[in-house]
Amino acid sequence: MQSMKRLFQVATVLALVLSQTPANAQQPPAISSSPGAAVANTTGNAAPGAPAVRPSDLSNPASGGIPVGTVITMQNWQHYQQFMSDGLVALFAGTYFWKMPADVAMEVGPTVVNPLPKNYQEATEKYAGQVQVIELPDGGLTLANYRGGLPFPNPAEPHKAWKILANVWYRYIPHLSYISNASGCTVNSTGNIDCSTGNVVYRQLSFNTDPGVAGDPPDADGRFYTQWFMILEPEQDRYTASLTIAYNDLTRQQDLYAFIPSLRRSQPISAAARCGQTSGMDINQDDYRSGFNSNLTQFNVDYIGQKKVLALILAKMPNSKFPEGYDMPLGWPEPSWGKWQVRDVDVISAVKLPAQGKGYCYGKRVMYVDQPDSAPLWEELYDPDGKLWKIGGLFLHTVDVPNVGPVDTSGSLLYEFWDIQNKHASIIADPTDNSHPFYVNEQVPRDYRDITRYSTPSGLNMIMR
């Protein structure tokens, strides 16, 4: 049993790199779940060396309302808080243990919206009109007639918020990727750091739109995608691996398998472990896949509204391994990582249905979903008592996908989740730094294209052979 417990803790550490239960401590007050409750002024002091922000500057904005070249600091952040998620406002305000470093400097650049891949757009135009929302007996929702592309290019009532969540689930991601040396690091309240690294293989098996890849009919076994992970370091955990299988039937629970090196075989992991602590990380099974890996048929989703928020979309990964090159102790992005953009987002709030909510770790998940890419950019996670638990930032990495073009939802990104109740944080980089390659589609080395080895439970048993 101890071996199995250790397996789950270790194997799932890397599941979140693609991609808790709160302590019995005094709980901090919750922040508002209504984004932009505090509307910022449009004038005020700029950062040293940056031009002052004047009303005339905002008459011709180059980045969604903030002049390009503006540097946001601890001295002027309140003038721009209307462009921040509630969690980001809390970090700047110093409301909790985790707070912005005094030297924070966020330079605003132009907003760059890369078009969705041509084939994905064509699938959207061809099939979106056929997609239907089906009401389930327990009050949940599912889809019928989805064939590829974005299911709801113009989500509207009824069920607008749930349709946006469905778009998150089916957003464009390259059909095959291999992340070498992905990393997951934790930081506690005393500054102690613990890191693991490993390899990740992601494969989409149904509804593909990449050139030269069969997208129809769907996978014969009903699989939507698979994620394979194997630990490289620390050495004592090497070869520990896991496989997640998600299905086209949205009502079907994901399957999770793990390979135990000492037993030299794989075995299934209970789906009830989705809220389990993953080797001290602040991200659980439902947070994988760039911010949402849960069963969307089990949620009631409310629409909070539209908003413009600052987001960091990386042109390249950081040049060094954590904590070098990060603004500590928060682990915040350094200015060298790139310039911030103002993005249009839909803000939604997802709560488990009463029939599904018993024992579930989160009381609510607030997501700031990028309108162009249908990708979460920020999240706030609340505990079952309605108190803010975690603040999440998802910093996407734009990758030039062969025969497709630049894609923000590449599967490569940085996750940063700050547990404000337990004074703990997790920083996950896919891959570890700019020196490790991220392979996509035909770039993936031939050994990692083997479907049996990297997309089936039996393939886990081929490890160490």
pLDDT at residue 2 above 80? no
342 inside domain: yes
186 inside domain: yes
Please provide the average confidence, as pLDDT, over all residues in the chain. Answer: 86
Q: Alpha carbon of 75 to those of 36, 46, 94, 97: distances in Å? A: 19, 8, 13, 20
* Confidence (pLDDT) at 273: 66
**Alpha-carbon span 377 to 290, nearest angstrom:** 9
**Alpha-carbon span 185 to 321, nearest angstrom:** 10
* Confidence (pLDDT) at 61: 46
* Confidence (pLDDT) at 27: 38
Query: Considering only CA atoms, which of 149, 30, 134 is closest in space to residue 90?
Result: 30
Quickly tell me which residue has 């509207």 as its tokens: 156
92 inside domain: yes
User: What is the value of pTM for the model shown?
Assistant: 0.87
- Report the amino acid identity of residue 437: P
User: How confident is the model over 444-452, as a mean pLDDT?
Assistant: 95
Q: Give the CATH number for residue 283.
A: 2.50.20.10
Number of domains in the chain: 1
Q: Alpha carbon of 134 to those of 138, 170, 223, 248, 401: distances in Å? A: 12, 17, 20, 15, 34
User: How confident is the model over 274-294, as a mean pLDDT?
Assistant: 80
* Confidence (pLDDT) at 280: 66
Between residues 176 and 42, the one the model is more confident about = 176
Containing structural domain, residue 62: 1-20+48-465
119 inside domain: yes
Chain segment 263-278, per-residue pLDDT in tens: 788 889 876 667 765 5
25 inside domain: no
| Structure tokens belonging to residue 301 | 């989703």
Q: Alpha carbon of 219 to those of 38, 145, 207, 225: distances in Å? A: 48, 15, 9, 9
**Alpha-carbon span 392 to 97, nearest angstrom:** 15
- Report the amino acid identity of residue 341: Q
421 inside domain: yes
**Alpha-carbon span 172 to 158, nearest angstrom:** 24
Contact call for residues 411 and 179 (beta carbons, < 8 A): yes
DSSP 8-state secondary structure symbol assigned to residue 346: E
30 inside domain: no
378 inside domain: yes
Contact call for residues 256 and 271 (beta carbons, < 8 A): yes
* Confidence (pLDDT) at 324: 95
Q: Grade residue 352 by pLDDT with cuts at 50, 70 and 90.
A: very high
What are the backbone dihedrals phi and psi of residue 375, each rounded to the nearest 5 degrees, phi first? -115, 135
| Structure tokens belonging to residue 328 | 């500590």
Q: Is 455 helix (H, G, I), strand (E, B) or coil?
A: helix
Between residues 213 and 398, the one the model is more confident about = 398
